[in-house]
Amino acid sequence: MSPLETLSAAITGQPAHRIPIFCNLLDQGAKELNMPLEQYYSKGEYVADAQLKMLKRYGYDNVWSLSYVGKEAQLLGCQKILFAKNGVPNVADFVIKSWDDIPTFEIPEDIILHPHWQSIADCLKILQHEVGSTHPICAYVTASTTLPILLMGMDKWMELVLTGPVSLRDELLRKCSDFVQQEIAALRDAGANVIIYATPFGSPYFIPKKMIADWSMPWMQRDLIAGPDNIVYYCGMAPLNTVTELVIDKLNINLFYPAPEDDISESKRLINGKGLTSGVIDDIKMIHWTKQQTRDEVKRIIEIGKPGGHFLFGTGLMPLDIPEENIIALLDAAFEYGRYA
Amino acid sequence: MFETYIKDYNEAVFEIDKELALEVVETAIQNGVTPEQVVFNIIIPSIEEMMAVIAENADTNLAQHFMTAQIAAEITEKMLAKFTTPPEVVGRIIIGTAYGDLHSLGKRIVMGCLKSMMVEVVDLGVNIKAEDFVDAAVAQDAQVIAISSMMVHTATGEDGSIKVRALLKERNLENKIKLVVGGAPYRFDHELYTKVGADKWAADGVTAAKIIKQLILEVKAS
């Protein structure tokens, strides 16, 4: 079975030789090509090359077209990204500096004509050509209710959401939601076959459940107007079990990527054979864990989630500080314990 | 009397209803409650109650924490201007985000709560070098340095808390200035704070204020 078939079997509950194993190595690609992060992320070809090399070396199931989350801010006008030597790039220029900027803020008319789209398109073209028929190609889309964080910062957005004028907030959300619709369509057209829909404001860690139902949900429905195919509900490593039923009911999404703190048994009960949920390792701990600790945690997660299928083992956005021996230990254990007899 | 105000005020904050929270305070003032009583008998006990709720039950959310801090800070600032005598300051802290980190929400929540608890806060802003944290703490005679990191590499990097700890040690300041850290990476690995040389950590901004106040009192007592 190809990794794509393994994933499909897990979703539908068909027999398979093992569970799908997703390992999200992004910034590690720069190390793979022996480049500084800024140079690495300057071309889609580099990202695709590194993704394919790491896929070959480690043998997990997925590749990524994502460079860094701030790329979405660049597509929306951000002029500066702060690159670190050893970690995730930061948005260093907020497009919306005050609420007064919202009425004049504009999204691209056609996202694929934007200069910053080119590297994404180049990356996806290579990945699609090389592994498009065999492997899940993951893309990352930030929900409209979260996208303003990249445009104005978390605290200004939180202030607008909770205390600002509703009309101004909704004006920004409409523009962001239009952008999300475009982005999802463009990514699908370019060959992404798994869309990680990152929606922290769809997690009760961020806002009350009632607000998720009354406020976030209509915007998420608007974002996903083209349908829930291959959309994975992900709250940026924040818990989501308590909203899973609501999401299934209102968005028809049946693929979930919970937080490490979500109870896996409960995630399985909630998905109830209707799609796929994931056991996600707390990979920040892997920075300091031993190989044995890493193996033990992988075993624990898979032993809970594997029975009955509809389950994927995955990582967060693996920090660069994780020693390679722990990445190998994680994958060895995942392949070993993830097998079906 | 204050119990009713605290209850009504906290219910409003829990419902993320800023207008209602402000109305509760306005009603209290109209009923003869003094600005000093608003701060010390309503706002501070309300923050402490939120701290207790968070400690007992994790089922609160970031929006509630944000509102706790923002409303408290706003009301306290207004009330302080009307105090008949300046309040006694509990202590002073230096706060900022780690070098390379531009995320400021957590810092803002901590600051809002601390200001209402009569702690002087010197905000260095975002993307702060280790030397600047220590130099400011010495210059301002602060008891605590608080560093917020949203990203793993800014939490664990050599230019962040690890360097602040090294500088405190090098300058023989470890008994005079304590180091507190917070932010997403620490929520995922509860032992991470020890690996970056911090004295304490907090899982959220409201709890951070409680921990910082305790540390200030410890330093001042030593």
- B50: CATH: 1.10.1240
Q: What are A277's strand-pairing partners? A: A311
- Chain B interface with A: residues with Cβ < 8 Å: 16, 18, 59, 61-64, 66-67, 70, 100-105, 108, 127, 151-154, 156-157, 184-185, 188-189, 191-192, 195
Evaluate whether A179 touches A107 at the Cβ level (below 8 Å).
Answer: yes
Is residue B85 included in any domain, yes or no?
Answer: no
pLDDT of residue B159: 93
Q: Could you tell me if the ipTM is greater than 0.90?
A: yes
Asked if A52 and A116 touch (Cβ cutoff 8 Å), the reply is no
Same domain, residue pair B74 and B104 = no
Q: In this structure, which CATH number among 3.20.20.210, 3.90.700.10, 3.30.360.10, 2.60.120.10 belongs to the domain A3-337?
A: 3.20.20.210
Q: Find the mean pLDDT for residues A234-238.
A: 97
Do residues A221 and A250 make contact, with C-beta atoms less than 8 angstroms apart?
Answer: yes
- The model's pLDDT over A29-83, given as tens digits with 9 standing for 90+, comes to 999 999 999 999 999 999 999 999 999 999 999 999 988 999 999 999 999 999 9
DSSP assignments along A79-111, one per residue: --EE--SSS--EE-S-S--SGGGTTT----SSG
A180 in Cβ contact with A223 (< 8 Å): yes
* Residue B86 resides in a domain: no
A·B CB contacts under 8 A? 94
Write down the mean pLDDT value for chain B: 94
Residue type, A231: I
Chain B residues with CB inside 8 Å of A86's CB? 153, 157
Which of B55, B80, B105 lies at the terminal end of a domain, its last residue? B80
Is B30 found in the same domain as B105? no
**What's the pTM?**
0.95
Q: A231 forms bridges with which residues in the sheet?
A: A195
Q: Quick: pLDDT tens for A68-101.
A: 999 999 999 999 999 988 889 999 999 999 999 9
Do B197 and B107 lie in one domain? The reply is yes
Domain holding B159: CATH number?
3.40.50.280
Domain extent for B7: 2-80
Domain boundary among B37, B54, B80: B80
Q: Looking at B38, B60, B80, which one is the last position of a domain? A: B80
- On whether both B72 and B178 belong to a single domain, the answer is no
DSSP one-letter string for B123-140: EEESS--HHHHHHHHHHT
Would you say how long chain A is, in residues? 341
B185 lies in a domain?
Answer: yes
Q: Classify residue B112: in a domain, yes or no.
A: yes
Same domain for B114 and B71: no
With contacts defined as CB-CB under 8 Å, which chain B residues touch A288? 189, 191-192, 195
CB atoms inside a 10 Å sphere around CB A214: 10
Q: Counting Cβ atoms within 10 Å, is residue B191 exposed (0-12), middle (13-18) or buried (19+)?
A: exposed
**Amino acid found at A44:** G
Same domain, B55 and B25: yes
Smallest CA-to-CA distance from B22 within B63, B77, B59, B62 is with B77
- Torsions phi, psi of A256, nearest 5? -130, 140
Determine the distance in angstroms separating the CA of A236 from the nearest CA of chain B, rounded to an integer: 11
Tokens 């990524």 correspond to: A64
Q: Are A278 and A258 in contact (CB under 8 A)?
A: yes
- Using DSSP, state whether A277 is helix, strand or coil: strand
